[in-house]
Structures are given as structure tokens and as C-alpha cells.
Amino acid sequence: MIHFSAQVLRIPMLQAHIERALHEHFLFRKLTDTQCHVFLDCMQRVEVQPGDVVVKQGGEGDCFYVVGSGEFEVLATQEEQNGEVPRVLQRYTAEKLSSFGELALMYNKPLQASVRAVTSGTLWALKREDFRGILMSEFSNLSSLKLLRSVYLLSRLTILQLSHIADSLSEVSISDGQTIVDKNEGVFALYIIQKGQLRITFDTDLLMNPNVSSLKSDNLQEKDNSQSSPEFLVEKTEGSYFGEWALIGEHIGSLRAVAMGDVVCAVLTKEKFDSVVGPLTKLSQDDHKSRGYSSDFPKESAKSIDVSAFSKVQLSDLVRGAAFYVAKNLC
């Protein structure tokens, strides 16, 4: 049985391989760097063993796959005098920059062939719902989507959900030396730094809280303090975040955030988050129930997508390419 992992692409050499495979494919050939990086962030690792059937002829596909390692064979059952006979049409390997399942991204139709693992190997999968979400997102929101996916608590959400969250973000500007969060107030929202740098000081007790991962940084320093309770200091730069615990309803004080120069932050409150995708605690429970691609998250109906929404790819290219893939790959 194939196993879908939450692991995302982090190794540069592997990222480069998957990126080359995407650019070799007609669907992704004209991606901008930002678009490509968002797709890479969405791809999940799939481990297979010899004999595992990744997609089955006649079934419904919901993913596009890039071969990371191993060998795979394309099988199709064909009518002959003696009945139906399975035939091996071709083989996929990482060396060939092989990929398959692109028609599942565009059309909700039965698959024309099966793909089976010949050896143990690794695939990198892009879900249809994430592909649809990126197509439907305004390209100006892609940087926001990438920032939101960097937040661990949000990384399990689909692109469609993150796109809705991106539309709910507010923006706050802070001048040099201004306090954005005071110890007496507590943190009631997620803050993502879009520009500038913040200095955060907090009590030692926060490091013991499992929901405060953003403060456990490599540049954590103990602050010289004459008070009985020691304090720690961490500097947050562009692209980093803090306050994620507020999204699960945890209110934490004993923290102060001050701007080092002019700073711009994207802000997401729990109320905004809940109104878009529902309580994060429920989403976490649903996620633990099923690590595969079945979930209780709200999803778009599985209709054929409007490929013309992919503004960087010509519709004629998609039509010709899809016809070519149906004729040649049958999957």
C-alpha cells in the first residue's frame, strides 16, 4: 500500500529535480519562479513498494505525480481474442524526469491506464484541490500563500483554504521603536512579518509550551535581567512569524514585541480564521484521523477545472498537450 507523508520538499537537489520535471511538462512549462515555488511547497512525499498500484485503470485520479526514485510501469487492459489482457505500455523513472496523472488535475474522468511500482521508490504528489486553488488564486496572493504555508499549524490546510485566509489578512505598519505587543496585553493574533525586523522578549515559561514553536529559534538569547524571573530574546525577520498559538484560542502574556526599524506585518485573528475555515482544533483532529487525501475539510466539487484560468499557459497548449498525453500515455 502506498503511504502519503506530510513531508515537504526541503533538500535543494531534490527540489531542483522536481522543478526540472515540472518545467518539462506542458502544464507547468511557463510557470513563474513564484508559482513554481508554491507548487513545490504543496507537493507531498509518497513511499511505494514493489507491486503497489499508484493509480488504477477505470478509477478516479486526484493527484499529479513526479517520480523521485524507483521504476514504475504503465499498464492498460486491452481487448483481445482471448479476452482482456494487461499490457505494459511504458516505464517511468526519475532519470527520465517522468511524471503522470496530469489529466486528473484537469478532468474528473476514469483513468485510461494503471501505474504500478516495479521497485521500491518515491513519488512527489500534487493534489487536484491544491492545483485548483493556485489556479483560482490571484497571482498577487501567491507570496501570501507561501508565507501562510510556512506556519506549521497552517501547513496542513489546502491551497483553497489558505487562499481564503490570505483574503482575510489585515496589514499593520509599525514605526521604529514602536511596541506592537505589550506584556500586559497578550497576543491575540498570528503576526507574519512582511517587511522589517522585530525584537521579542518573553519569560522562560513560554519555552515549555508546545504550542509556542515560533519562539524556539536558533538565535534565542538570554536577556540580562536583574529581576528574579529570567527573560529570553529572539529577533524575527522578514518571512518569519509569531502568535500562532492565538489561532487555537490560547492566550499568552509575558511577551513584548518591538519594531527594529519600520515594520509591516500581516495579521490573522482567530475570529477571522474561524469564520473562513472553522476552528483549528477541529481541523487538527480531522487531520489526525486521515493522513491520506480523504479529509473533512471543505472542498470544491470535483468538476473539470477551467484551465484558461492558468494565465501563463495558453489554452491551445493545454488542449494539444492533453490530447497528446491521452494518445501516448493513456493515463
In this prediction, residue 116 carries a pLDDT of 95
Cα–Cα distances (Å) from 314 to 39, 80, 329, in that order, read 19, 39, 21
Instruction: Judge contact between 63 and 148, C-beta under 8 A.
Output: no
User: 56 CB contacts (<8 Å, ≥6 apart)?
Assistant: 111, 114
Separation CA 283–CA 205 (nearest Å): 27
User: 217 CB contacts (<8 Å, ≥6 apart)?
Assistant: 234, 236
Question: Distance between terminal CA atoms of the chain?
Answer: 20
Q: Closest by alpha carbon to 39, among 122, 82, 102, 111?
A: 102
In this prediction, residue 311 carries a pLDDT of 39
In this prediction, residue 36 carries a pLDDT of 79
Give per-residue burial for 83-100: e unless 16+ CB within 10 Å, then b. eeeeeebbebebeebbbb
Burial of 106 (0-12, 13-18, 19+ CB in 10 A): buried
Q: What are phi and psi of 96, to 5 degrees?
A: -85, 0
Residue 162, phi-psi category: left (phi > 0), alpha (psi -120 to 50), beta (remainder): alpha
Instruction: Judge contact between 30 and 313, C-beta under 8 A.
Output: yes
Separation CA 263–CA 30 (nearest Å): 34
In this prediction, residue 229 carries a pLDDT of 67
| Residue-by-residue pLDDT tens, the chain, 331 positions | 565 655 555 567 888 888 888 888 888 877 777 777 788 888 889 999 999 999 999 888 889 999 999 999 999 987 766 777 788 999 999 999 999 998 888 787 888 899 999 999 999 999 888 887 776 665 556 777 878 878 888 877 877 788 888 888 899 999 999 999 888 788 889 999 989 999 999 888 888 888 888 888 756 777 765 555 678 888 999 888 999 989 988 887 788 999 999 999 999 999 999 998 888 765 544 444 443 433 333 333 333 334 333 434 433 344 344 444 444 444 4
Q: What is the pTM of this model?
A: 0.57
Separation CA 91–CA 104 (nearest Å): 19
In this prediction, residue 148 carries a pLDDT of 86
In this prediction, residue 8 carries a pLDDT of 55
User: 225 CB contacts (<8 Å, ≥6 apart)?
Assistant: 231
- Amino acid found at 280: L
In this prediction, residue 281 carries a pLDDT of 62
In this prediction, residue 172 carries a pLDDT of 92
